[in-house]
Amino acid sequence: MKVRYSYLEEQFANPDDILNDIKRLLKTTQFTLGPEVEEFESKFAKLCGTQYAIGVGSGTDALLLSLKALDIGPGDEVITAPNTFIATVGAIATSGAKPVFVDVNQEYNINPTLIETAITDKTKAIIPVHYTGNPAKIPEIMEIAKRYNLPLVEDACQAISAAIDGQPVGSFGITGCFSLHPLKNLNVWGDGGIITTNSVEMDHKLRLMRNHGLENRDEVELFGYNSRLDTLQAIVGNHLIDEVAAITEARIRNAKMYDEAFSLLAPYITIPPRDKSVRHVYHIYMFQAKDRDELYKYLLNNEIDAKIHYPIPLHLQRASKNLGYKKGDFPVCETQCKSIISLPAHQYLKKEQIEYVIDKIKSFYKGATR
């Protein structure tokens, strides 16, 4: 590929500093909950402007443990969006609760004006997703949550360093849930996740829950899980966390280049609204394209590693068949899923590569008979 979606080879072309710290770990053998984990948690809490951060096994675990710490389980309902990655809904279902979907807006995030109609006496939480790295309408959602006394669990797995009016995501809800998957803006060498909170009670409970509920080696306060952020992954995270600002600015800069070029291609391309009050970190650069499937094939044939995130919304997946939804229930989401496409926007792209992508997309629409 001339323009690749993955950037991991470039990012870790010179891993000696990280490997040296891993060699030191081999000498200490503190493979689980070593001091590097606490160091990373402290740095991450500072990044998100929260009192606490708890390292866990994955972003999915961050969501699941947040729900379990809120005592959410069978018979309960949790509201979220139908266009998110499966992990959001999988965590709800694994907790024993029922996922309840609400349609999305033109920014691909949950539509706050539709949330209230989905609330029942069984609703126990709302999980807004900061999809693509774009913050959801949290102030509006928080007003609804407060009115109904519902906790807000932020799915910020795609949104490290995103913010609303300068306040980092992950600091609004009872918890913020983040993924450290290799392709996230802050990544590690495998799976990893982290939960942010300002609640001392949630911090205490989540630390117990991630480590079997152990108060100490011999005493179990509650039945928990095995979901610890590995010390090795914390070492990688500690090396990369100081790069988050530069990574984010590069992604924003690349997205702006795309936006400026594609704004001239309406109505073939529809760029989602850009809210100036938020910091969109562009984990995914996504837009809607006419003749999406043909464009997708054209880009791949021209060695541009485009993606589709995701062609089948969650309420229409086989896994959701028992939830009672059908085609047409969430028309905005369903329409978007037929036309959305994502382009590489990572920090290692050269200006010439972005210009190549833009030129190819212009050529596709110029040369087509519409």
pLDDT tens column, 101-149: 999 999 999 999 999 999 999 999 999 999 999 999 999 999 999 999 9
Q: β-strand 153-155 against 175-179: which pairing, if any? A: parallel
- In terms of domains, do 275 and 352 share one? yes
| C-alpha span between 370 and 366 (Å, rounded) | 9
Determine, yes or no, domain membership for 277.
Answer: yes
- In terms of domains, do 115 and 234 share one? yes
Residue 32: pLDDT over 80: yes
- In terms of domains, do 225 and 356 share one? no
Tokens, residue 229:
């952020």
Summarize pLDDT for 256-304 with one digit per residue, the tens: 999 999 999 999 999 999 999 999 999 999 999 999 999 999 999 999 9
pLDDT of residue 250: 98
Burial pattern 241-252, b for ≥16 Cβ within 10 A else e, equals beebeebbebbe
Q: Name the residue among 308, 247, 307, 310 with its Cα closest to residue 281.
A: 247
pLDDT of residue 73: 98
Summarize pLDDT for 165-195 with one digit per residue, the tens: 999 999 999 999 999 999 999 999 999 999 9
Q: Where is the domain boundary, 193, 223, 243?
A: 243
Q: Name the residue among 249, 315, 264, 256 with its Cα closest to residue 285.
A: 256
Q: Taking a C-beta distance cutoff of 8 angstroms, is the pair 255, 287 a contact?
A: no
Determine, yes or no, domain membership for 106.
Answer: yes
pLDDT of residue 368: 54
Q: Name the residue among 55, 40, 110, 59 with its Cα closest to residue 81.
A: 110
Summarize pLDDT for 197-245 with one digit per residue, the tens: 999 999 999 999 999 999 999 999 999 999 999 999 999 999 999 999 9
Q: Among residues of the chain, what percentage have pLDDT more than 70?
A: 99
Determine, yes or no, domain membership for 1.
Answer: no
Provide mean pLDDT across the span 315-334. 98
pLDDT of residue 87: 98
Domain of 274 in residue numbering reads as: 244-367
- What CATH number is associated with residue 220? 3.40.640.10
Q: Name the domain count of the chain.
A: 2
pLDDT of residue 369: 41
Summarize pLDDT for 55-108 with one digit per residue, the tens: 999 999 999 999 999 999 999 999 999 999 999 999 999 999 999 999 999 999
Residue 309: pLDDT over 70: yes
This prediction's pTM: 0.97
- What CATH number is associated with residue 331? 3.90.1150.10
Rg of the Cα atoms in the chain: 21
Q: Where is the domain boundary, 243, 271, 287?
A: 243
- In terms of domains, do 145 and 272 share one? no
- Longest Cα–Cα distance of the chain, Å, equals 72
Residue 370: pLDDT over 50: no
- In terms of domains, do 110 and 24 share one? yes
Q: Classify residue 140 by burial, with Cβ atoms within 10 Å: 0-12, 13-18, 19+.
A: middle
Please name the residue ranges forming H helices in 117-196. Answer: 138-147
Q: Classify residue 112 by burial, with Cβ atoms within 10 Å: 0-12, 13-18, 19+.
A: buried
Torsion, Cα 98 102 108 113, to 10 degrees, reads -140
- In terms of domains, do 69 and 179 share one? yes
- In terms of domains, do 299 and 191 share one? no
- In terms of domains, do 284 and 211 share one? no
| Number of residues assigned to the chain | 370
Please name the residue ranges forming H helices in the chain. Answer: 8-11, 16-28, 35-48, 59-69, 86-95, 138-147, 200-209, 231-240, 244-262, 292-301, 331-337, 351-367
Q: Taking a C-beta distance cutoff of 8 angstroms, is the pair 128, 80 a contact?
A: yes
